Chains A and B, each alone.
Chain A
Amino acid sequence: MICKKIVELLPRFIENDFSKEEYAEIARHLEECERCKKEYEAMKKLIDRLETMPLLNVPKSFKESVMKSLKDLKDKNDG
Protein backbone atom coordinates (compact mmCIF):
# COMPACT_ATOMS: atom_id res chain seq x y z
CA MET A 1 0.00 0.00 0.00
CA ILE A 2 1.40 3.34 -1.04
CA CYS A 3 0.47 5.27 2.11
CA LYS A 4 2.37 2.84 4.28
CA LYS A 5 5.43 3.32 2.15
CA ILE A 6 5.09 7.09 2.15
CA VAL A 7 4.87 7.19 5.93
CA GLU A 8 8.02 5.08 6.08
CA LEU A 9 9.78 7.67 3.94
CA LEU A 10 8.65 10.74 5.85
CA PRO A 11 11.61 11.05 8.22
CA ARG A 12 13.90 11.18 5.18
CA PHE A 13 11.55 13.40 3.26
CA ILE A 14 11.60 15.99 6.02
CA GLU A 15 15.33 16.40 5.54
CA ASN A 16 15.08 16.34 1.80
CA ASP A 17 17.33 13.32 1.60
CA PHE A 18 15.94 12.33 -1.82
CA SER A 19 16.53 12.98 -5.47
CA LYS A 20 14.41 15.72 -7.05
CA GLU A 21 12.13 13.17 -8.72
CA GLU A 22 11.56 11.09 -5.61
CA TYR A 23 10.96 14.20 -3.58
CA ALA A 24 8.39 15.48 -6.06
CA GLU A 25 6.62 12.14 -6.07
CA ILE A 26 6.24 12.10 -2.30
CA ALA A 27 5.23 15.76 -2.25
CA ARG A 28 2.52 15.01 -4.80
CA HIS A 29 1.15 12.23 -2.64
CA LEU A 30 1.09 14.50 0.40
CA GLU A 31 -0.91 17.06 -1.49
CA GLU A 32 -3.51 14.48 -2.34
CA CYS A 33 -3.63 12.34 0.77
CA GLU A 34 -5.03 13.88 3.91
CA ARG A 35 -3.89 11.06 6.17
CA CYS A 36 -0.27 11.09 5.11
CA LYS A 37 -0.22 14.85 5.25
CA LYS A 38 -1.38 14.75 8.85
CA GLU A 39 1.39 12.32 9.67
CA TYR A 40 3.89 14.57 7.94
CA GLU A 41 2.73 17.60 9.85
CA ALA A 42 2.88 15.80 13.17
CA MET A 43 6.45 14.78 12.51
CA LYS A 44 7.44 18.27 11.51
CA LYS A 45 5.89 19.59 14.67
CA LEU A 46 7.78 17.09 16.80
CA ILE A 47 11.08 18.09 15.23
CA ASP A 48 10.24 21.72 15.64
CA ARG A 49 9.52 21.16 19.32
CA LEU A 50 12.73 19.24 19.80
CA GLU A 51 14.74 21.93 18.14
CA THR A 52 13.30 24.75 20.18
CA MET A 53 13.60 23.12 23.57
CA PRO A 54 15.14 25.48 26.11
CA LEU A 55 18.77 24.75 26.87
CA LEU A 56 20.09 24.06 30.33
CA ASN A 57 22.83 26.06 31.96
CA VAL A 58 25.68 24.74 34.04
CA PRO A 59 26.09 26.11 37.57
CA LYS A 60 28.03 29.37 37.76
CA SER A 61 30.80 27.66 39.71
CA PHE A 62 31.29 24.96 37.08
CA LYS A 63 34.29 26.37 35.24
CA GLU A 64 36.15 27.08 38.47
CA SER A 65 35.48 23.62 39.75
CA VAL A 66 36.81 22.05 36.54
CA MET A 67 39.93 24.19 36.65
CA LYS A 68 40.45 23.28 40.28
CA SER A 69 40.23 19.57 39.62
CA LEU A 70 42.69 19.99 36.75
CA LYS A 71 45.13 21.52 39.18
CA ASP A 72 44.60 18.66 41.62
CA LEU A 73 45.16 16.22 38.78
CA LYS A 74 48.37 17.96 37.83
CA ASP A 75 49.63 18.09 41.41
CA LYS A 76 49.03 14.38 41.76
CA ASN A 77 50.98 13.69 38.58
CA ASP A 78 53.81 15.97 39.59
CA GLY A 79 54.02 14.61 43.11
Chain B
Amino acid sequence: MKQQEFLTDIEIVEKVKKGDKDSFSLLVERYQKGLINLLFPLLRNYEEAIELCQEVFLKVYSHLDQYDSHYKFSTWIYRIANNLAIDHLRKGTPKIDSIDEKDEDEESKIEIESNDLSPQERLEKKIMEKEILTAISSLDTLSRELIILRHIHFRSYEEMAKITNLPVGTVKNKIFRARKELMKKLEKVK
Protein backbone atom coordinates (compact mmCIF):
# COMPACT_ATOMS: atom_id res chain seq x y z
CA MET B 1 0.00 0.00 0.00
CA LYS B 2 1.12 3.50 -0.82
CA GLN B 3 2.22 5.69 2.04
CA GLN B 4 -0.34 8.38 2.76
CA GLU B 5 1.87 11.26 1.84
CA PHE B 6 2.39 9.82 -1.63
CA LEU B 7 -1.28 9.44 -2.44
CA THR B 8 -2.52 11.80 -5.12
CA ASP B 9 -5.40 14.12 -4.31
CA ILE B 10 -7.67 12.05 -6.50
CA GLU B 11 -6.70 8.84 -4.72
CA ILE B 12 -7.54 10.47 -1.41
CA VAL B 13 -10.88 11.66 -2.75
CA GLU B 14 -11.65 8.11 -3.85
CA LYS B 15 -10.81 6.78 -0.40
CA VAL B 16 -13.08 9.31 1.28
CA LYS B 17 -15.89 8.55 -1.13
CA LYS B 18 -15.56 4.85 -0.31
CA GLY B 19 -16.20 5.67 3.33
CA ASP B 20 -12.74 6.33 4.72
CA LYS B 21 -13.78 9.71 6.10
CA ASP B 22 -10.64 10.16 8.17
CA SER B 23 -8.55 10.41 5.02
CA PHE B 24 -10.19 13.75 4.39
CA SER B 25 -7.81 15.15 6.97
CA LEU B 26 -5.01 14.58 4.45
CA LEU B 27 -6.69 17.01 2.09
CA VAL B 28 -7.12 19.51 4.90
CA GLU B 29 -3.43 19.20 5.64
CA ARG B 30 -2.51 19.75 2.03
CA TYR B 31 -4.75 22.71 1.34
CA GLN B 32 -5.21 24.60 4.60
CA LYS B 33 -2.21 26.81 4.09
CA GLY B 34 -2.96 27.50 0.45
CA LEU B 35 -6.54 28.42 1.23
CA ILE B 36 -5.75 30.72 4.12
CA ASN B 37 -3.32 32.56 1.89
CA LEU B 38 -6.04 32.97 -0.69
CA LEU B 39 -8.75 34.00 1.76
CA PHE B 40 -6.76 36.29 4.00
CA PRO B 41 -5.57 38.69 1.31
CA LEU B 42 -9.10 38.72 -0.07
CA LEU B 43 -10.87 39.41 3.22
CA ARG B 44 -8.07 41.14 5.14
CA ASN B 45 -9.36 39.65 8.35
CA TYR B 46 -7.64 36.65 9.84
CA GLU B 47 -10.49 35.35 11.99
CA GLU B 48 -12.98 35.59 9.14
CA ALA B 49 -10.54 33.96 6.76
CA ILE B 50 -10.11 31.04 9.16
CA GLU B 51 -13.86 30.66 9.54
CA LEU B 52 -14.39 30.75 5.81
CA CYS B 53 -11.56 28.31 5.29
CA GLN B 54 -13.40 25.88 7.51
CA GLU B 55 -16.57 26.46 5.53
CA VAL B 56 -14.70 25.68 2.31
CA PHE B 57 -13.60 22.30 3.65
CA LEU B 58 -17.13 21.49 4.82
CA LYS B 59 -18.49 22.35 1.41
CA VAL B 60 -15.80 20.34 -0.35
CA TYR B 61 -16.57 17.38 1.87
CA SER B 62 -20.30 17.50 1.37
CA HIS B 63 -20.00 17.99 -2.40
CA LEU B 64 -17.26 15.48 -3.02
CA ASP B 65 -19.50 13.36 -5.23
CA GLN B 66 -19.77 16.33 -7.60
CA TYR B 67 -16.03 16.56 -8.11
CA ASP B 68 -15.06 15.74 -11.67
CA SER B 69 -11.61 14.17 -11.67
CA HIS B 70 -10.88 15.52 -15.14
CA TYR B 71 -10.10 18.75 -13.32
CA LYS B 72 -7.22 19.17 -10.98
CA PHE B 73 -8.48 18.88 -7.42
CA SER B 74 -6.65 22.08 -6.52
CA THR B 75 -8.55 23.99 -9.20
CA TRP B 76 -11.83 22.71 -7.86
CA ILE B 77 -11.11 23.56 -4.25
CA TYR B 78 -9.83 27.03 -5.15
CA ARG B 79 -12.95 27.58 -7.16
CA ILE B 80 -15.15 26.72 -4.20
CA ALA B 81 -13.07 28.98 -1.96
CA ASN B 82 -13.30 31.75 -4.50
CA ASN B 83 -17.08 31.52 -4.75
CA LEU B 84 -17.59 31.44 -1.01
CA ALA B 85 -15.29 34.43 -0.58
CA ILE B 86 -17.20 36.44 -3.17
CA ASP B 87 -20.50 35.62 -1.46
CA HIS B 88 -19.01 36.60 1.83
CA LEU B 89 -17.70 39.90 0.51
CA ARG B 90 -21.05 40.67 -1.07
CA LYS B 91 -22.90 40.11 2.16
CA GLY B 92 -21.34 42.49 4.56
CA THR B 93 -19.02 45.33 5.29
CA PRO B 94 -15.58 43.86 5.59
CA LYS B 95 -13.97 44.06 9.00
CA ILE B 96 -10.48 44.84 7.85
CA ASP B 97 -7.73 44.12 10.34
CA SER B 98 -6.28 47.41 11.45
CA ILE B 99 -3.06 48.25 9.65
CA ASP B 100 -1.44 49.78 12.71
CA GLU B 101 -2.55 47.03 15.00
CA LYS B 102 0.41 45.78 16.93
CA ASP B 103 -0.47 42.18 16.94
CA GLU B 104 1.82 40.04 19.00
CA ASP B 105 0.14 36.95 17.62
CA GLU B 106 1.06 37.90 14.14
CA GLU B 107 4.58 36.62 14.44
CA SER B 108 3.30 33.12 15.06
CA LYS B 109 0.93 33.27 12.10
CA ILE B 110 3.65 34.25 9.72
CA GLU B 111 6.35 31.84 8.76
CA ILE B 112 9.65 32.70 10.26
CA GLU B 113 11.88 33.89 7.49
CA SER B 114 14.38 36.54 6.45
CA ASN B 115 16.50 36.11 9.54
CA ASP B 116 19.36 37.61 7.62
CA LEU B 117 17.69 41.02 7.68
CA SER B 118 18.48 43.69 10.24
CA PRO B 119 15.62 44.81 12.53
CA GLN B 120 15.37 48.02 10.51
CA GLU B 121 15.12 46.10 7.24
CA ARG B 122 12.57 43.74 8.69
CA LEU B 123 10.44 46.63 9.81
CA GLU B 124 10.63 48.25 6.40
CA LYS B 125 9.75 44.99 4.73
CA LYS B 126 6.79 44.57 7.03
CA ILE B 127 5.52 48.06 6.32
CA MET B 128 5.91 47.48 2.60
CA GLU B 129 3.98 44.23 2.84
CA LYS B 130 1.14 45.94 4.65
CA GLU B 131 1.08 48.68 2.04
CA ILE B 132 0.87 46.10 -0.70
CA LEU B 133 -1.94 44.25 1.08
CA THR B 134 -3.79 47.52 1.59
CA ALA B 135 -3.37 48.42 -2.06
CA ILE B 136 -4.63 44.98 -3.07
CA SER B 137 -7.65 45.29 -0.85
CA SER B 138 -8.61 48.56 -2.50
CA LEU B 139 -8.91 46.86 -5.90
CA ASP B 140 -12.26 45.52 -7.06
CA THR B 141 -12.95 41.95 -6.00
CA LEU B 142 -12.11 40.27 -9.29
CA SER B 143 -8.83 42.13 -9.76
CA ARG B 144 -7.91 41.31 -6.22
CA GLU B 145 -8.56 37.61 -6.71
CA LEU B 146 -6.59 37.49 -9.91
CA ILE B 147 -3.58 39.23 -8.43
CA ILE B 148 -3.63 36.87 -5.48
CA LEU B 149 -4.05 33.75 -7.60
CA ARG B 150 -1.31 34.75 -9.97
CA HIS B 151 1.32 36.25 -7.73
CA ILE B 152 0.80 34.60 -4.38
CA HIS B 153 -0.37 31.23 -5.66
CA PHE B 154 1.42 31.11 -9.01
CA ARG B 155 -1.60 29.74 -10.86
CA SER B 156 -1.52 29.49 -14.64
CA TYR B 157 -3.94 31.62 -16.68
CA GLU B 158 -5.82 28.49 -17.66
CA GLU B 159 -6.32 27.53 -14.04
CA MET B 160 -7.30 31.07 -13.12
CA ALA B 161 -9.87 30.99 -15.89
CA LYS B 162 -11.35 27.79 -14.51
CA ILE B 163 -11.34 29.07 -10.94
CA THR B 164 -13.07 32.34 -11.81
CA ASN B 165 -15.19 30.89 -14.60
CA LEU B 166 -13.98 33.47 -17.12
CA PRO B 167 -12.35 33.20 -20.55
CA VAL B 168 -8.54 33.18 -20.51
CA GLY B 169 -8.41 36.38 -22.55
CA THR B 170 -10.54 38.24 -20.01
CA VAL B 171 -8.39 36.96 -17.17
CA LYS B 172 -5.26 38.26 -18.88
CA ASN B 173 -6.68 41.67 -19.73
CA LYS B 174 -8.05 42.08 -16.27
CA ILE B 175 -4.84 41.13 -14.49
CA PHE B 176 -2.69 43.34 -16.69
CA ARG B 177 -4.95 46.25 -15.84
CA ALA B 178 -4.97 45.31 -12.17
CA ARG B 179 -1.18 45.37 -12.05
CA LYS B 180 -1.09 48.88 -13.43
CA GLU B 181 -3.69 50.01 -10.97
CA LEU B 182 -1.72 48.49 -8.13
CA MET B 183 1.35 50.40 -9.25
CA LYS B 184 -0.57 53.65 -9.23
CA LYS B 185 -1.96 53.05 -5.78
CA LEU B 186 1.45 52.23 -4.38
CA GLU B 187 2.96 55.31 -5.93
CA LYS B 188 0.45 57.36 -4.01
CA VAL B 189 1.51 55.68 -0.78
CA LYS B 190 5.13 56.66 -1.25
Contact = CB atoms under 8 A, between A and B. Distances in A.
B152 A66 contact: no
Most A CB within 10 A of own CB, among B108, B114, B151: B151
Nearest to A70: B61
User: From DSSP, what is the main secondary structure of chain A's interface residues?
Assistant: helix
A28 B109 CA distance: 45
B40 A56 contact: yes
Most A CB within 10 A of own CB, among B129, B132, B175, B176: B176
A11 B24 contact: no
Interface of B: 21-22, 24-25, 28-29, 32-33, 36-37, 40, 46, 50, 53-54, 57-58, 61-62, 108-111, 113-114, 128-129, 132, 147, 151-152, 154, 172, 175-177, 179-180, 182-183, 186
Given A8-B180, A56-B37, A56-B111, 19 more contacts: A10-B180, A11-B175, A11-B177, A17-B172, A50-B151, A51-B151, A53-B129, A56-B40, A58-B33, A58-B36, A58-B53, A62-B32, A62-B50, A62-B53, A66-B54, A66-B57, A66-B58, A67-B25, A70-B61
The 3 A-B pairs at the shortest CB distance, nearest first, are namely A11-B176, A50-B151, A11-B179
